[in-house]
Amino acid sequence: MLTPYQIILKKREGGILSPEEIDYFIKQYTAGKIPDYQASALLMAIFFKGMDDGEILHLTRAMMSTGTIVRLSDVPGCKADKHSTGGVGDKISLMLAPLAAACGVKVPMVSGRGLGHTGGTVDKLEAIPGFRTGVSIPEYKRILKQVGLVMSRQSDHLVPADRKLYALRDVTGTVESVPLITSSIMSKKLAEGIDVLVLDVKVGNGAFMKDLARARALAKKMVQVGRLYGKKVAAYLTDMSQPLGREVGNWNEVVESVKMLRGESDADDIVELTIKLTAEMISLCSGETRASASQRVKRAIESGAGYEKFLEMVRAQGGDSSVVENPAKYRMPRVVVEVKSPESGYVDSMDTFKIGMAAVKLGAGREKIEDKIDPVVGITFLKKVGDRVNAGDVIAIVQANDEERAKSAKADIKNAYSFSGRKCSRPELIKERIA
């Protein structure tokens, strides 16, 4: 007879868990028959001892089997999704999904909330007044057919095991585990009914994978699992050694995404990465070259087709599109504080993890599962790596609703910057493609 204690002990000692043991633990935990403290113990054991390929595949399958597998065969066209392993200021999904849909790809996107120091697409979408990320499967299909994309959170019926474990990983320091990340991401994506998946694996001081070798290992593992399930999968290793774009914070990132879709962005990194990942998705679906697909994406930006598709999705999911069209109507933060450079020179590096945690402390993320998100707080970055600064220049702006939190964030952000007298190059944004 299997017991949670035996399974935890076996993995703690470095043993290989059988399919039966994995299936038992996941089903019993999802049903509420194994408490959080025992699930936390197993997560920690996996974090330190790892899992082999067979265990990861079985864990992914066991998590999928706890919920509904969505069938989208009645939705015409290629169904594709994109997933990022998480970063600071990573709002690419908000731009990629409508652009891909404007180019004819069906995008059923199931996203997550913030995890640790990283932001979540669901939290950003819910910053739009009225926007509903919780939709039933019939409504999910209807919106997908009608608009060409739908952006939702996990329903109660889609991989409930992951929803529980995801929240537990967030508060137990077990996020940065290749087996746990792989099974979490792939169980959700494989349950969506998609044909194509594009993965954005972040690497750097603001990513869960700090070094290129670990990020590559994670990307290869996810691509391998996707292929075993007959999906077309490509992964990109991309930089997260500084915030992506200029905005961090939920409403801030919505506004920045809208500016990009309107062709008004001055953040070259989000433009470059959005075009690259969207073109990959289109190419995998259509068979055309990535260069040709890139041109289609650029035209969808220039024509405003991606922006119009975003507005269409917002309306279909109950959001107030007038606020998206005119962000000045949104409520403003009560406290705005400037962060000034302490010296002259060049921005040499940024501690992106520290910046992400500063945003969490402001209320843009969660320190505990039950914490409420404040959509209006955030940080705007005026200077990033490679930029010239003079002493006293404003390098960032903190938007807060509490004086003490603003003061603390200002100090953290100031300490997150380092400067040099010599000009340094910007980090390479796209490091590798794995497909």
**Residues recognised as catalytic:** 83, 162, 169, 184, 188
Could you tell me the two tokens for 344? 């002259």
CA nearest 148: which of 192, 104, 191, 190? 104
Sheet holding 232-239, edge to edge: 80-84, 196-203, 232-239, 430-434
- Cβ neighbours around 264 below 10 Å, total: 11
Chain position carrying tokens 């109950």: 318
Chain position carrying tokens 């220039």: 302
Rounded Cα distance, 111 and 103, in Å: 21
- DSSP letter for each residue of 139-171: HHHHHHHHHSEEEEEPPTTS-HHHHHHHHHHHH
Rounded Cα distance, 284 and 309, in Å: 21
Is 428 strand, coil or helix?
coil
Do the Cβ atoms of 389 and 419 come closer than 8 Å? yes
Do the Cβ atoms of 140 and 70 come closer than 8 Å? yes
- Cβ neighbours around 73 below 10 Å, total: 7
CA nearest 209: which of 235, 245, 229, 231? 235
Query: Which helix (DSSP H) or strand (DSSP E) does residue 107 occupy?
Result: strand 107-111
Residue 63: beta bridge partners?
none
Rounded Cα distance, 127 and 401, in Å: 15
- Helices 290-302, 92-102: axis angle to 10 degrees equals 100
CA distances from 194 to 82, 139, 233, 283 (A): 10, 17, 11, 15
CA distances from 427 to 57, 242, 260, 346 (A): 34, 9, 21, 14
CA distances from 424 to 170, 204, 243, 386 (A): 35, 17, 17, 5
- Cβ neighbours around 18 below 10 Å, total: 15
